[in-house]
Amino acid sequence: MAGSDRWLSEPIPKPIRLGINFDVSLMRFSAWLMSPRKRIARVKVSTSEVAPYVVRSSLSAVANLPQIVRRFARATRLLVQASKPLLFPESLGFREGTTSVHTSRTMMLDELSLLLEKVGSHAPATSYLTTIVEDNALGKPTQTTRQRTAKRLTELYALDPGCTVFRLLRHFWPSDPASRPMLAFLAAAARDPLLRETTPFIQSVKLEQTVTPNQIVEHLNEKFPGRFQASTALATAQRLASSWSQAGYLLGKVNKRRSKPHVTPTVAAFALALGFLCGLRGRLLFDSTWARLLDRSPTELNGLLTEASRQGWLNYKAAGSVSELTFPGLITSKEEKVAYEQD
């Protein structure tokens, strides 16, 4: 068998399938993901990286091939997962599409903070609307503005404990007032695609560098050609800049400068919980949309998650390049099933 190749094919839900090539003589796997049109990704790893033992001879490699392939399955699932576009499950509260609150309002941090102060954490969805519209707890001058405020806040945050994203926001909210700007921002980004998709632009700006509305307009026109009229683009850019200021990505009222948002272990836990709900697991959570929004290096994120685990927000274990994150008691079995189906 030495020097020969064995071809194994493990069916993956179409249109992607996995090919594994086992080279007995070289003691290594060659694995790749394939679509009907092209090869998507290719990796090579030694058997010692995918098995808890080192294969010492060609004969033992062949004898242990079934075990090695089973142990390789987890790595191949991660490859498949990494090759697929990230899905944002609407049934858990995420939103996709072209609709954005930022064409008319900002992330409304002050209104949200006051509302969550007035409404109990276990109150039904109707209590939020009653508090805004009938009780006028947010101090809006007319019935129309109250109704519009309720509509925009609902679009941004759901305001429904039956919505997973909002339920998690309320779970983390009382922990630390300093965490609230980024907690609100992450929830808003989960439900406002425009905010989510344009924030990487502001993160690409160097710290302390000035950011103007015209720069944001230019980015909007490049990323979404033909979507915005001139006046709409400028107003939307200004509202996006306001939301980034509320979250901490920008400083200054008139001349806005790039800064880093305040990220706590609680914020990091919420961010990775959002990634978990999108079907990501292990190290893939560290490079998720939500982890990148934290504006922190992998080392900094590791430290935040270690502290979050110590505080009981999640369970985090890391050994070398392998990481395990779970959220016991936080995410229901039904939510886990929906998240798993994103994989």
Query: What pLDDT is recorded for position 69?
Result: 53
What's the pLDDT at 66? 55
The predicted structure's pLDDT at residue 32? 39
Confidence category of residue 336, pLDDT binned at 50, 70, 90:
confident
Q: Which ranges in the chain are annotated with CATH 1.10.3540?
A: 98-170+177-258
For the cut 90, the answer to whether the pLDDT of residue 237 exceeds it is: yes
- Helix then strand count (H, E) for the chain reads 15, 9
Q: Is it the case that residue 208 has pLDDT exceeding 60?
A: yes
- 98-170+177-258 topology per CATH: 1.10.3540
Question: What's the whole-number mean pLDDT along residues 212-231?
Answer: 94
- For residues 231-264, one letter each, b for 16 or more C-beta atoms within 10 angstroms of the residue's C-beta and e for the rest, the string is eebbbbbebbbbbbbbbbbbeeeeebebbebebb
Per-residue pLDDT at 62: 47
* pLDDT for res 343: 52
Query: Tell me, what's the pLDDT at 72?
Result: 54
The DSSP code sequence of 195-209 is: HHHHHHHHHTSPTT-
Mean pLDDT of the chain: 81
pLDDT tens for residues 251-281? 998 899 999 999 999 999 999 999 999 999 8
- Residue-wise pLDDT for 113-159, tens only, equals 999 999 999 999 999 999 999 999 999 999 999 999 999 999 999 99
Query: Residues 86, 90, 95, 96: is their CA dihedral positive or negative?
Result: positive
pLDDT for 319: 82
Q: Which CATH number fits domain 265-340: 1.10.10, 1.10.530, 1.10.3470, 1.25.40?
A: 1.10.10
Domain with CATH 1.10.10 in the chain: 265-340
Q: What is the pLDDT of residue 242?
A: 97
pTM of the model: 0.76
**pLDDT tens per residue, range 41-68:** 333 333 333 333 333 333 444 455 555 5
Residue 321: pLDDT band (50, 70, 90) is confident
pLDDT tens digit string along 173-201?
999 999 999 999 999 999 999 999 999 99
pLDDT value of residue 13: 38
Quick check: 161 and 167 in contact, CB under 8 A? yes
**Residue 322's pLDDT band (cuts 50, 70, 90):** confident
Per-residue confidence (pLDDT) for residue 341, from 0 to 100: 72
Beta strands in the chain (DSSP E): 5-10, 17-23, 28-34, 39-46, 210-211, 250-251, 256-258, 315-319, 322-326
- In this predicted structure, the answer to whether residue 12 has a pLDDT above a threshold of 60 is no
The predicted pLDDT at position 209 comes to 97
